[in-house]
Chain A
């Protein structure tokens, strides 16, 4: 067998293949959110991106976050957004462009930020592999314990915030007539 002038990269593992597929899904979803003219299609793209993010969490062995992501983002937030789109649907098919006057500048800035971030990420020597998580380690129990020990005050504040947001949203969106 002749020697190759360069070293072949190692074969991707199953996890890596799955990650790449999920990542492509997420990227496509995000692109649809940004570029679609029809706002409802944007919302569908958003749902796709949310699912992709949930898949990424599951690949990273954070199943609880992944399931919570589907529950909160897909179940609640996407539904709310879709509702708002339908309630304001007079705005959907305007003759105007979906982008505003500063969108050209915005596009340049965003692309620049993406390139800078990618270069930064590539330049830093990250650890090659995280420590393995043994099956059966009680991560969810640990999360629950943290919420009632170290993080009890932020947790209560969060509950307060959700309550205030709930009341505030009702007051704001109520028909005053």
Chain B
């Protein structure tokens, strides 16, 4: 049996990497990738807690939440990338620093 802490530390690392990509990368697509990483980290945690929870064979809430997260991530990435492509078409850039049309 793999100790629960290993799962959690792995998830923490993946989450931190995703957070850095979302905060520190310049390209909008890279930011989206970071968000995907964070969602995956959440899923790893959900599955790990499901496995270590009471009666995992009957109590499937963790798995169900993970499936919901996967589906929502699919919707999110579709809309996000459509936005990126739309922005690229209008402004010829996906560089987030250059998208400052609303700056006062």
Contact of B81 (CB < 8 Å), options: A56, A61, A80: A80
Q: Is the CB of A131 within 8 A of B43?
A: no
Per-residue A-contact encoding for B1-41, CB less than 8 Å = 1, 0 else: 11111111110111111111101111101101110110010
Q: How many residues of B contact A (CB 8 A)?
A: 77
Majority secondary structure, B binding face:
helix
Interface, chain B (partner A; CB < 8 A): 1-10, 12-21, 23-27, 29-30, 32-34, 36-37, 40, 43-44, 47-48, 50-58, 60-61, 63-64, 66-68, 70-79, 81-86, 88-89, 92-97
Contact of B30 (CB < 8 Å), options: A98, A110, A162: A98
Contact of B5 (CB < 8 Å), options: A43, A53, A84, A122: A122
B-side contacts of A85, CB under 8 Å: 29
B-side contacts of A175, CB under 8 Å: 89
**Alpha-carbon distance A125/B25, docked complex (angstroms):** 36
**Alpha-carbon distance A159/B68, docked complex (angstroms):** 10
Q: Is the CB of B56 within 8 A of A131?
A: yes
Q: A61-B51, A113-B19 are in contact. Are A91 and B95 (CB under 8 A)?
A: yes
A-side contacts of B32, CB under 8 Å: 81
Per-residue B-contact encoding for A84-108, CB less than 8 Å = 1, 0 else: 1101101100101111111100110
B-side contacts of A154, CB under 8 Å: 68
**Alpha-carbon distance A96/B53, docked complex (angstroms):** 48
B-side contacts of A59, CB under 8 Å: 2
Majority secondary structure, A binding face:
helix
Q: Is the CB of B25 within 8 A of A99?
A: yes
**Alpha-carbon distance A30/B25, docked complex (angstroms):** 14
A-side contacts of B48, CB under 8 Å: 60
**Alpha-carbon distance A92/B2, docked complex (angstroms):** 40
Q: A30-B18, A98-B25 are in contact. Are A151 and B64 (CB under 8 A)?
A: yes
Q: A62-B47, A100-B97, A101-B97 are in contact. Are A77 and B85 (CB under 8 A)?
A: no
Q: Pick 7 A–B contacts, CB within 8 A, sort by A.
A: A57-B43, A62-B50, A80-B77, A85-B29, A88-B85, A131-B54, A168-B79
